[in-house]
Amino acid sequence: MSLMYRIQHLRDALAWEGEIPISNRYTMGIAGERFFREIKDNGQLLGTRCPECDLVYVPPRLYCERCFAHLEEWVEVPGTGHVHTYTIVHLDLDGNPLPEPRVLAFIRLDGSDGGLVHYLGEVEPDQVCIGMCVEPVFKDRAERRGSILDIVYFRPI
């Protein structure tokens, strides 16, 4: 047995394969709980307003990011907005090709200074443009479970 040993076949290259079982559970927090509960029960988006800075946060924050004030004023926002930026995704998280490309966009929501990252639907990828006006499409009430995916996608108005 010499050390001038060279791997001749791929099957001789020994790799130790394994899997680390990891399961994460992420709770929404105090503001997130109220935000998603409202989406689940009423299909309504909420934000919090800082009267000092005149900013409306969507998703809602408990504290103003500018002045650190505690935010207690909850406001309803209509859910409509416009595409601030977008990308077309062809691969899934593991790098496998998707059956259909999907459009992901950052949507600036009307009546707020924030926005959501979400899918765009009912639109061809090459028809999407920055500034496009969109509205959310909610799942049926019975199917909603208090998740960002209770909104199926945003579609052009």
Q: Could you list the residues that contact another protein (CB under 8 A)?
A: 1-3, 5, 12-28, 30, 32-33, 36-37, 40, 70, 93-94, 145-147
Q: How many CB atoms lie within 10 A of CB 129?
A: 10
Contact 116, 125 (CB under 8 A): no
User: Cβ 150 to another protein, closest distance in Å?
Assistant: 10
**Per-residue DSSP letter, 12:** G
In the complex with another protein, the residue whose CB is nearer, 59 or 123, is 59
CA-based nearest residue to 154, from 111, 106, 115, 121: 121
User: Cβ 93 to another protein, closest distance in Å?
Assistant: 8
User: Cβ 124 to another protein, closest distance in Å?
Assistant: 30
In the complex with another protein, the residue whose CB is nearer, 111 or 146, is 146
Give the C-alpha separation, 36 to 40, whole Å. 6
In the complex with another protein, the residue whose CB is nearer, 40 or 49, is 40
Decide: helix, strand or coil at residue 77.
Answer: strand
User: Cβ 75 to another protein, closest distance in Å?
Assistant: 19
